[in-house]
Amino acid sequence: MFTGLVQSLAEVTDLIREPPGVRLIIREPKIAASSKIGDSIAINGCCLTVIDIADGRLAFQAGEETLSRTNLGELAPGAVVNLEQSLRAGDALGGHYVTGHIDAVGTLKSRKDDADWCKMAFTAPSAQLSQMASKGSVAVDGVSLTLVDIENDYFTIALIPHTLSVTTLGRRQLGDRVNIETDILAKYVQRQFNVATNH
Protein backbone atom coordinates (compact mmCIF):
# COMPACT_ATOMS: atom_id res chain seq x y z
CA MET A 1 0.00 0.00 0.00
CA PHE A 2 1.19 3.52 -0.83
CA THR A 3 0.09 7.11 -0.25
CA GLY A 4 0.77 8.70 -3.63
CA LEU A 5 3.37 11.03 -2.11
CA VAL A 6 6.45 10.65 -4.30
CA GLN A 7 9.65 10.36 -2.29
CA SER A 8 12.17 10.71 -5.06
CA LEU A 9 12.80 11.21 -8.76
CA ALA A 10 15.12 8.47 -9.95
CA GLU A 11 16.95 7.63 -13.16
CA VAL A 12 16.55 4.42 -15.12
CA THR A 13 20.08 3.17 -15.76
CA ASP A 14 19.38 -0.06 -17.63
CA LEU A 15 16.68 -2.34 -19.01
CA ILE A 16 17.86 -5.89 -19.50
CA ARG A 17 15.66 -8.17 -21.58
CA GLU A 18 14.54 -11.27 -19.70
CA PRO A 19 11.86 -12.61 -22.08
CA PRO A 20 8.96 -12.26 -21.77
CA GLY A 21 9.80 -9.44 -19.33
CA VAL A 22 12.66 -7.14 -18.43
CA ARG A 23 14.96 -6.39 -15.53
CA LEU A 24 14.67 -2.71 -14.65
CA ILE A 25 17.62 -1.01 -12.94
CA ILE A 26 17.06 2.34 -11.22
CA ARG A 27 19.62 4.57 -9.50
CA GLU A 28 18.47 6.11 -6.21
CA PRO A 29 21.12 5.82 -3.45
CA LYS A 30 18.94 7.13 -0.59
CA ILE A 31 16.05 4.74 -1.20
CA ALA A 32 18.46 1.90 -2.00
CA ALA A 33 20.12 2.42 1.40
CA SER A 34 16.81 2.08 3.26
CA SER A 35 15.42 -0.81 1.21
CA LYS A 36 15.89 -4.56 1.30
CA ILE A 37 15.32 -7.36 -1.18
CA GLY A 38 11.63 -8.26 -1.28
CA ASP A 39 10.41 -4.72 -0.54
CA SER A 40 7.60 -3.23 -2.60
CA ILE A 41 8.32 0.08 -4.33
CA ALA A 42 6.02 2.02 -6.62
CA ILE A 43 7.63 3.10 -9.90
CA ASN A 44 5.40 5.64 -11.64
CA GLY A 45 2.68 4.25 -9.40
CA CYS A 46 3.23 0.61 -10.38
CA CYS A 47 4.14 -1.68 -7.47
CA LEU A 48 7.24 -3.80 -8.16
CA THR A 49 9.40 -5.99 -5.93
CA VAL A 50 13.07 -5.23 -5.24
CA ILE A 51 15.12 -8.22 -6.40
CA ASP A 52 18.64 -6.80 -6.00
CA ILE A 53 20.40 -3.80 -4.46
CA ALA A 54 23.95 -2.75 -5.35
CA ASP A 55 25.92 0.50 -5.66
CA GLY A 56 22.93 2.74 -4.98
CA ARG A 57 20.86 0.95 -7.59
CA LEU A 58 17.65 -1.04 -7.23
CA ALA A 59 16.71 -3.90 -9.55
CA PHE A 60 13.16 -5.00 -10.38
CA GLN A 61 11.56 -7.48 -12.77
CA ALA A 62 8.56 -6.40 -14.84
CA GLY A 63 6.57 -9.05 -16.67
CA GLU A 64 4.86 -8.90 -20.03
CA GLU A 65 1.49 -8.00 -18.46
CA THR A 66 2.98 -5.10 -16.51
CA LEU A 67 4.84 -3.79 -19.54
CA SER A 68 1.74 -3.90 -21.73
CA ARG A 69 -0.66 -2.34 -19.22
CA THR A 70 1.51 0.49 -17.85
CA ASN A 71 3.92 3.07 -19.22
CA LEU A 72 6.88 1.11 -17.82
CA GLY A 73 7.23 -0.64 -21.17
CA GLU A 74 8.13 2.72 -22.72
CA LEU A 75 11.04 3.41 -20.37
CA ALA A 76 14.62 3.65 -21.63
CA PRO A 77 17.96 4.33 -19.96
CA GLY A 78 18.07 7.97 -18.87
CA ALA A 79 14.31 8.16 -18.23
CA VAL A 80 13.21 9.69 -14.93
CA VAL A 81 10.57 7.97 -12.79
CA ASN A 82 8.65 8.63 -9.58
CA LEU A 83 9.55 6.39 -6.64
CA GLU A 84 7.66 5.69 -3.42
CA GLN A 85 8.41 3.06 -0.80
CA SER A 86 5.45 1.13 0.59
CA LEU A 87 3.52 2.47 3.56
CA ARG A 88 4.61 1.15 6.94
CA ALA A 89 2.44 0.83 10.04
CA GLY A 90 2.44 4.17 11.85
CA ASP A 91 3.46 6.24 8.79
CA ALA A 92 1.55 9.45 8.19
CA LEU A 93 -1.02 9.21 5.40
CA GLY A 94 -0.71 12.52 3.61
CA GLY A 95 -2.12 11.50 0.24
CA HIS A 96 -4.72 8.73 -0.20
CA TYR A 97 -4.63 4.94 -0.20
CA VAL A 98 -2.91 3.80 -3.39
CA THR A 99 -2.49 0.09 -4.12
CA GLY A 100 0.15 0.29 -6.83
CA HIS A 101 -2.09 -1.69 -9.20
CA ILE A 102 -2.51 0.38 -12.36
CA ASP A 103 -6.05 0.49 -13.75
CA ALA A 104 -5.35 2.09 -17.13
CA VAL A 105 -2.97 4.20 -19.16
CA GLY A 106 -4.12 7.72 -20.03
CA THR A 107 -2.70 10.42 -22.28
CA LEU A 108 -1.92 14.08 -21.56
CA LYS A 109 -4.57 15.86 -23.65
CA SER A 110 -3.85 19.47 -22.70
CA ARG A 111 -1.56 21.48 -20.50
CA LYS A 112 -2.14 25.08 -19.45
CA ASP A 113 0.75 26.68 -17.60
CA ASP A 114 0.17 29.77 -15.47
CA ALA A 115 3.48 31.01 -14.04
CA ASP A 116 4.69 28.06 -11.87
CA TRP A 117 1.25 26.47 -11.73
CA CYS A 118 -0.37 24.15 -14.24
CA LYS A 119 -3.73 22.64 -15.16
CA MET A 120 -3.63 19.37 -17.06
CA ALA A 121 -6.26 17.22 -18.76
CA PHE A 122 -5.77 13.48 -19.25
CA THR A 123 -7.82 11.10 -21.38
CA ALA A 124 -8.92 7.91 -19.67
CA PRO A 125 -11.18 4.92 -20.43
CA SER A 126 -14.84 5.30 -19.48
CA ALA A 127 -14.55 2.49 -16.92
CA GLN A 128 -12.07 4.57 -14.92
CA LEU A 129 -13.83 7.90 -15.48
CA SER A 130 -16.98 6.39 -13.94
CA GLN A 131 -14.99 5.84 -10.73
CA MET A 132 -13.98 9.51 -10.49
CA ALA A 133 -15.72 12.45 -8.85
CA SER A 134 -14.83 16.13 -8.62
CA LYS A 135 -12.74 16.76 -5.47
CA GLY A 136 -12.08 13.04 -5.23
CA SER A 137 -8.65 11.41 -5.51
CA VAL A 138 -6.73 9.86 -8.37
CA ALA A 139 -3.13 8.69 -8.74
CA VAL A 140 -1.36 9.75 -11.95
CA ASP A 141 2.07 8.13 -12.38
CA GLY A 142 1.84 7.36 -8.67
CA VAL A 143 1.14 10.96 -7.61
CA SER A 144 -1.87 11.50 -5.35
CA LEU A 145 -3.96 14.29 -6.89
CA THR A 146 -7.34 15.95 -6.41
CA LEU A 147 -9.71 15.76 -9.37
CA VAL A 148 -11.13 19.03 -10.69
CA ASP A 149 -13.47 18.16 -13.58
CA ILE A 150 -14.57 14.85 -15.06
CA GLU A 151 -15.86 14.90 -18.63
CA ASN A 152 -16.96 12.18 -21.08
CA ASP A 153 -13.45 11.16 -22.08
CA TYR A 154 -11.03 13.04 -19.84
CA PHE A 155 -10.40 14.46 -16.39
CA THR A 156 -8.51 17.54 -15.19
CA ILE A 157 -6.16 18.23 -12.32
CA ALA A 158 -4.55 21.42 -11.01
CA LEU A 159 -0.89 21.13 -10.05
CA ILE A 160 0.93 23.31 -7.55
CA PRO A 161 4.57 24.35 -8.16
CA HIS A 162 5.89 21.88 -5.55
CA THR A 163 4.27 18.87 -7.25
CA LEU A 164 5.54 19.99 -10.65
CA SER A 165 9.10 20.23 -9.34
CA VAL A 166 9.36 17.01 -7.30
CA THR A 167 7.55 14.58 -9.63
CA THR A 168 7.72 13.68 -13.31
CA LEU A 169 4.44 15.51 -13.98
CA GLY A 170 6.25 18.82 -14.46
CA ARG A 171 8.11 17.24 -17.40
CA ARG A 172 5.05 15.78 -19.10
CA GLN A 173 4.27 16.94 -22.63
CA LEU A 174 1.19 16.57 -24.84
CA GLY A 175 0.72 12.97 -25.92
CA ASP A 176 2.72 11.48 -23.05
CA ARG A 177 1.17 8.36 -21.56
CA VAL A 178 0.63 8.12 -17.81
CA ASN A 179 -0.38 5.41 -15.36
CA ILE A 180 -3.78 5.91 -13.74
CA GLU A 181 -5.10 4.33 -10.57
CA THR A 182 -8.54 5.34 -9.36
CA ASP A 183 -9.49 5.57 -5.69
CA ILE A 184 -9.89 2.12 -4.13
CA LEU A 185 -12.97 3.28 -2.19
CA ALA A 186 -14.65 4.33 -5.44
CA LYS A 187 -14.07 0.84 -6.85
CA TYR A 188 -15.78 -0.83 -3.90
CA VAL A 189 -18.70 1.59 -3.99
CA GLN A 190 -19.15 0.98 -7.73
CA ARG A 191 -18.92 -2.78 -7.22
CA GLN A 192 -21.60 -2.75 -4.51
CA PHE A 193 -23.83 -0.54 -6.62
CA ASN A 194 -23.51 -2.89 -9.60
CA VAL A 195 -24.28 -5.92 -7.43
CA ALA A 196 -27.33 -4.20 -5.94
CA THR A 197 -28.72 -3.11 -9.30
CA ASN A 198 -28.27 -6.56 -10.85
CA HIS A 199 -30.44 -8.28 -8.21
Q: Where are the domains of the chain?
A: 8-85, 104-197
Return the higher-pLDDT residue of 199 and 19: 19
pTM for the structure as a whole:
0.94
Instruction: Given CATH 2.40.33.10, say whether it is the number of domain 8-85.
Output: no
What architecture (CATH level 2) is domain 104-197? Answer: Beta Barrel (2.40)
How crowded is the C-beta side of 20, counted as CA atoms within 13 Å? 6
Helix, strand, coil % over all residues of the chain, rounded to 5: 20, 45, 35
Confidence of residue 184 (pLDDT cuts 50, 70, 90): confident
Q: Residue 162: CB partners within 8 Å, gap ≥ 6?
A: none
Between 92 and 83, the higher pLDDT residue: 83
Kindly state the percentage of the chain with pLDDT values over 70: 98
H-assigned helices in 6-137: 29-33, 64-69, 126-129
The torsion angles phi and psi of 192, rounded to 5 degrees, stand at -65, -40
